[in-house]
């Protein structure tokens, strides 16, 4: 499937946009940040080269229509301060997992609340999804609160790890 991801989603003071090569420093900063990594099951990014490779991999996956991935920026600045994505998309393109992360300096301002709203709207209104899932460490209260605020409910334990799965259905989204 070819990509149908909009390169840019603008709303109020936020721009969610496709990553480019020049974002490597910020992607390195985000993916090597210990606080962000705390609850995420992924290796710490070790070099700019790894960040370059990550951006290439993400953009190739977007081109193939495998997932959606945006850098979060403030409207008057070009620097990526966080990311948000929809991945693990079902074959029939009706379900997917969300992922999000924000540099600590930009937290506590509602930036991810707004970004997640944009992505949820996009998934249900434009992609016509039926369900969105978020896999999370049960200790990750900030992330769980964020999802609950948007109508996600506890759905399941993850059979293969210590995480739990939250789910937002189209019915609950429409409420
Ligand atoms: C999860 C994460 C993105 C949440 O960041 P955040 O800034 O707390 O999220 P929000 O944008 O929703 O902001 C909510 C906070 O901003 C405050 N806020 C200020 N203005 C606000 C506004 N206009 N609207 C909403 N909230 C606002 C809220 O009161 C809340 O503060 P609190 O945490 O003290 O209660 C962040 O903790 C993170 O990146 N964690 C590491 C990565 C991670 O765990 N990802 C998820 C894996 S499943």
Indicate which residue's Cα is closest to atom 6 of ligand 1.
107
Q: 14: CA distance to ligand 1 center in Å?
A: 15
Backbone angles phi, psi at 76, to 5 degrees: -95, 5
Mutational pocket test of ligand 1: of 98, 100, 136, the residue with most ligand atoms within 8 Å of the beta carbon? 100
State the fold for domain 8-174: Aminopeptidase (3.40.630)
Q: Among all chains, which residue has been given the structure tokens 């990594």?
A: 37
Which residue has the least CA distance to atom 19 on ligand 1? 109
Residue-by-residue pLDDT tens, the chain, 175 positions: 556 778 899 999 999 999 999 999 999 999 999 999 999 989 999 999 999 999 999 999 999 999 999 999 999 899 999 999 999 999 999 999 999 999 999 999 999 999 999 999 999 999 999 999 999 999 999 999 999 999 999 999 877 788 999 999 999 997 6
Q: Is 152 in the pocket of ligand 1 (CB under 6 A)?
A: no
Domain coordinates of the chain in residue numbers? 8-174
- The candidate with the shortest Cα–Cα distance to 61, out of 69, 71, 53, is 69
Residues 17 and 6: their CA atoms lie apart, in Å, by 8
């Amino acid at each position: 499937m070819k990509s149908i991801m909009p390169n840019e989603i603008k709303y109020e003071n936020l721009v969610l946009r496709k990553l480019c090569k020049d974002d490597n420093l910020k992607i390195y900063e985000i993916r090597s940040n210990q606080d962000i990594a705390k609850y995420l099951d992924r290796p710490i990014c070790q070099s700019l080269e790894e960040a370059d490779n990550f951006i290439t991999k993400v953009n190739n996956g977007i081109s193939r229509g495998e997932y959606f991935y945006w850098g979060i920026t403030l409207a008057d600045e070009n620097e990526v301060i966080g990311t948000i994505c929809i991945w693990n998309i079902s074959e029939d393109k009706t379900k997917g997992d969300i992922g999000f992360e924000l540099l600590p300096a930009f937290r506590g301002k509602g930036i991810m609340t707004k970004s997640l709203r944009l992505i949820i709207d996009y998934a249900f209104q434009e992609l016509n999804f039926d369900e969105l899932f978020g896999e999370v460490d049960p200790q990750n209260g900030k992330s769980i609160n964020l999802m609950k605020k948007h109508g996600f409910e506890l759905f399941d334990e993850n059979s293969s790890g210590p995480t739990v799965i939250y789910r937002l259905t189209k019915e609950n989204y429409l409420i």
